[in-house]
Structure 1
Amino acid sequence: MEVEAEKGSEHNNNENSNSGSQPLVESADSYGYSQDQRERHAHELKAGLHPLKYKFVFWYTRRTPGVRTQTSYEDNIKKIVEFSTVEGFWVCYCHLARPSALPSPTDLHLFKDGIRPLWEDSANCNGGKWIIRFKKVVSGRFWEDLVLALVGDQLDYSDDICGAVLSIRFNEDILSVWNRNASDNQAVMALRDSIKRHLKLPHNYIMEYKPHDASLRDNSSYRNTWLRG
């Protein structure tokens, strides 16, 4: 089964089709699944569904510009929906508002189940993120490409990937892919190359990598970036 964007999505250009993509699902025997994963997959297969390798959760964060809030960032993160099958993904994705329809500033998060979209989460605290900035007119298309690649387990070092974020801002949108281990340079650079390949990024796009501990020190999502690629 191939990953394909459905009718009505922002991903309609032939040059961005997924006809050459990897299969969205594979046999559970292909992976080192835990007992819980094997039981979940067996149940989903029995129900005639197509299980994904990972269970995912969509989250969002919405902040009102110019308004100070007493709640923490963690309290502002809201879970939208979770899914673990191809069918479940398309049901929820087709009903999500497209990035172009969302106000600024808003963050959309897609993370593996059990990992919160927070720097402090145990799966994220030693990791970092690759960052790409987009003009607002094209960000939705690249976000959809990334979501399909992440859900379909198409990116290299997928076990090291925690999730992805689309940060919708006033003048630009920022896409980031989070990984577990910022000190594993081979995995970090392989992830960069895999993102470039699957998003078909033009050569003039700059990717920046920032460890989460740097973000914690300066309390900013995108300042003091360390690596460029």
Structure 2
Amino acid sequence: MTIVETTTRTKAHRKTVRRKKMKTKTRNRTMPRKKMVVPGPGEHPLQYNYTFWYSRRTPGRPASTQSYEQNIKQIGGFASVEQFWRFYSHMIRPGDLTGHSDFHLFKEGIKPMWEMGGKWIIRLRKGLASRCWENLILAMLGEQFMVGEEICGAVVSVRFQEDIISIWNKTASDQATSGRIRDTLRRVLNLPPNTIMEYKTHTDSIKAWVDFHGLVTASGGR
């Protein structure tokens, strides 16, 4: 093959690659983007958009990161006070859930998976979950925690012997912020002074999950 032939083929190849790239860019630009939830006309917008999630695991079945990701289902999102109540008024209350079930309410764009940060955990005797969950999420939506963008979301976990509520934040090392979240939790839930509250980093949660289930990696589940 001559140098001229080689050069011609190389130029042709480059043109083909450029055409493919242009088609890809055009295709990407025309792909429909997922629409964000927006407040309706005359509605009262929240400071952040939120998404409800639900998960359920069969007791006794081996858990894994993959099964956790498969089990967690998105219910829907909202951007205003009115949209929240339309969702919430049709949802079953935590006290009426059975088995190993969880409700998650997280800011839009944040999936309830263990990453950085941590969470405050409160263990409840049976019968208190519905009231505490409602008070917690109303305080979160109303920005009562006063910690800016630190709050990620909240979870209520229904178990056989007890129920658990938790609120997640971004920065586990910020003691001032975690302290303010703790104090606000005590106030909005009207907790007795002797209530045990535990702060756990997501790193510790992952380690405990791995140790308990014998997994190499993990990123979610309780």
TM-score, structure 1 normalization? 0.72
Q: Does 1:100 align with 2:116?
A: no
Number of residues of Structure 1 aligned to a counterpart in Structure 2? 175
User: What does 1:1-229 correspond to in 2, within 5 Å?
Assistant: 44=39, 47-68=41-62, 71-119=66-114, 125-219=115-209
SS of structure 2 residue aligned to 1:155: coil
State the one-letter code of the partner of 2:109.
Answer: G
Change (3 A) 1:69 1:180: closer
Superposed CA deviations along residues 21-55 of structure 1, whole A, max 9, x for unmatched, are: xxxxxxxxxxxxxxxxxxx89x737x111100010
Q: Is contact 2:145-2:180 (8 Å) kept?
A: no
Change (3 A) 1:213 1:191: same
Q: Provide the C-alpha distance between the structure 1 equivalents of 2:96 and 2:174, rounded to a whole number of angstroms.
A: 37
Q: Is contact 2:95-2:128 (8 Å) kept?
A: no
SS of structure 2 residue aligned to 1:133: strand
Superposed CA deviations along residues 133-155 of structure 1, whole A, max 9, x for unmatched, are: 01111121111100111111111
Specify the alignment match of 2:4 in structure 1. Answer: none
Extract unaligned runs of 5+ from structure 1: 1-39, 120-124, 223-229
Superposed CA deviations along residues 124-172 of structure 1, whole A, max 9, x for unmatched, are: x220000000111112111110011111111121410000000100010
Q: Provide the C-alpha distance between the structure 1 equivalents of 2:61 and 2:123, rounded to a whole number of angstroms.
A: 25
Change (3 A) 1:162 1:190: same
Q: Larger helix proportion, structure 1 or 2?
A: 2
Q: Provide the C-alpha distance between the structure 1 equivalents of 2:192 and 2:63, rounded to a whole number of angstroms.
A: 39
Q: Provide the C-alpha distance between the structure 2 equivalents of 1:208 and 1:69, rounded to a whole number of angstroms.
A: 24
Change (3 A) 1:144 1:187: same
Q: Provide the C-alpha distance between the structure 2 equivalents of 1:192 and 1:138, rounded to a whole number of angstroms.
A: 19
Q: Provide the C-alpha distance between the structure 1 equivalents of 2:39 and 2:102, rounded to a whole number of angstroms.
A: 31
Superposed CA deviations along residues 84-136 of structure 1, whole A, max 9, x for unmatched, are: 101100000000001121112101100000000000xxxxx220000000111
Change (3 A) 1:68 1:99: same
Superposition RMSD on alpha carbons, in Å?
2.0
Q: Provide the C-alpha distance between the structure 2 equivalents of 1:134 and 1:199, rounded to a whole number of angstroms.
A: 11
Question: Highest CA radius of gyration, 1 or 2?
Answer: 2
Extract unaligned runs of 5+ from structure 2: 1-35, 213-222
SS of structure 2 residue aligned to 1:219: helix
Change (3 A) 1:68 1:213: closer
